Amino acid sequence: MSLSKETEVIFDAHRGIDYDSANPPLYDSSTFHQQILGGDVQYDYARSGNPNRALLEEKLAKLEGGSHAFAYASGIAAISSVLLTLNAGDHVILPDDVYGGTFRLTEQILTRFNIEFSTVDTTHLKEIENAIQDNTQLIYVETPSNPLFKITDIRGAADIARDNNLLLAVDNTFMTPLGQSPLALGADVVVHSATKFLGGHSDIIAGVAITNNQTVADALYLLQNGTGNALSAQDSWTLAKHLKTLPVRFQQSVENAKQIYDFLAQCDEISEVYYPGNNELHLSQSHHGGAVLGFRLKDETKAQAFVGALSLPLVSVSLGGVETILSHPATMSHAAVPKAVREERNITFGLFRLSVGLESADELISDLNYAFKEAFNESTTRQTKIQHISR
């Protein structure tokens, strides 16, 4: 019987032969019994393999349509492993608005190992082509990008990679495997910060890299085992359980985000709204606009006043939780990027990223509306705030 992705992620068809329960047991063990000395065993030491991590990786691979998945201790650990499959002297093409953690990794750490990086606007395929050097081995893209929601043509980038014998890696954190399938569009590797939508409850840190390329898979496992950055048994067990609610969580967040976009697009206090659901290229390679959007205040000096007037969103780093999370890229996700570089890339103090959760869309809109009015010094009272939150 062939199952949809949504059904597959909810229905655990791989309970194993040694138990029959709604959830698999937690194999909270660092080591495993070996009956035959020198024999070929499935598990020996938990750094090298664990039943909970193996089950999780199988489910993640199926979700992305890959043959191999590798769960890591964080999203940046997964990205690090993909980049460390390269050799000294190799060259990588990155987006010019790459996630701040990836920027720090590539600028301050991996350059020590003589791996070279160039940043381009990957939304223009010609810039990717022009950046290719004799030593280029990998094109790495984020789409939608963080935090300006720029869209890269995955099919077009895959064509360039294939024509030049390069690999293409895509960060699919924002869209999840239920919203976008980069491997089916020609990518060689997909990475996620599984801390975000895949986990969805803001209670674990995790990452995953998925591929159909056996050579890449062998390299990723060597790094997972050899550097010891694999996801723990406990977190693998937790993440596998959280995946069961991914379809309903993500669908509700996507629906809420569309309503909030419609509201933000009409706000006088906002100069720009960034929402992938309005981009034809994005919709040609994804199912919808996703659950994360961005906006910029007309008066950027009002940023702190706006945050201070909010009641419902969690003002924090991260995204993809059941709660709505408002992030300030300049001081959070992209704080590792020098100020001059941030401003050059239009990541200014008035820019916000909103990851929409499962709360009532009407209540979120009411709270945002109040905060805009309060920050921009329009007539409001404390009683108004009490009323709009208690409705």
With contact defined as beta carbons under 8 Å apart, do 93 and 136 qualify?
yes
How confident is residue 317, by pLDDT bands cut at 50, 70 and 90? very high
- Residue 339, amino acid: K
Q: Which residue has the higher pLDDT, 277 or 13?
A: 277
Q: Cα 194 to the chain's mean position, in Å?
A: 7
Specify the amino acid at residue 71.
Answer: A
Structure tokens at 352: 């916000």
Residue ranges per domain, the chain? 5-243, 246-390
> If you average pLDDT over every residue of the chain, what do you get?
92
DSSP symbol at 126: H
pLDDT tens-digit readout, 40-72: 888 998 899 999 999 999 999 999 999 999 999
- Give the count of alpha carbons within 13 A of 370, CB side only: 22
* Per-residue confidence (pLDDT) for residue 377, from 0 to 100: 83
- 350 and 297 in contact (C-beta within 8 Å)? yes
Q: Order of strands, edge to edge, in the sheet holding 68-72?
A: 68-72, 207-211, 189-193, 167-171, 136-142, 91-95, 116-120
CATH node for 5-243: 3.40.640.10
165 Cα distance to chain centroid: 26
CATH number of 246-390: 3.90.1150.10
Helix ranges, the chain (H): 5-10, 51-64, 75-83, 100-104, 125-131, 154-163, 176-179, 214-227, 233-243, 246-264, 280-285, 303-309, 339-344, 361-375, 382-390
- In 3-state terms, what secondary structure has residue 136? strand
For 122, the token pair is 């990957």
Q: Is the pLDDT of residue 14 over 60?
A: no
**Residues 261-295 pLDDT 10s:** 999 999 999 999 999 999 999 999 999 999 999 99
pLDDT of residue 172 exceeding 50, the answer is yes
Note the pTM of the prediction, 2 decimals.
Answer: 0.92
d(CA 317, CA 99): 12
Chain center to CA of 317: 13
Instruction: Establish how many alpha carbons lie within 13 A of residue 201's alpha carbon, considering only the half-sphere containing its beta carbon.
Output: 13
Tokens at 326, concatenated: 């408002």
Residue 354: strand, helix, or coil:
strand
Residue 38 has pLDDT above 90, yes or no: no
How do strand 116-120 and strand 91-95 relate by DSSP bridges? parallel
CB 207 within 8 A of CB 193: yes
Average pLDDT over residues 344-364: 95
Among 240, 183, 188, CA closest to 217: 188
Q: For position 4, what pLDDT does the model report? A: 80
Q: Can you state the percent helix, strand and coil of the chain, rounding each to 5?
A: 40, 15, 45
pLDDT in tens, 90-131: 999 999 989 889 999 999 999 999 999 999 999 999 999 999
Task: Pick the more confident residue, 339 or 175.
Answer: 175
69 vs 63: CA distance, rounded Å:
10
Residue of 30, 60, 33, 35 whose CA lies nearest to 48: 30
Please identify every residue annotated as catalytic. 47, 99, 171, 196
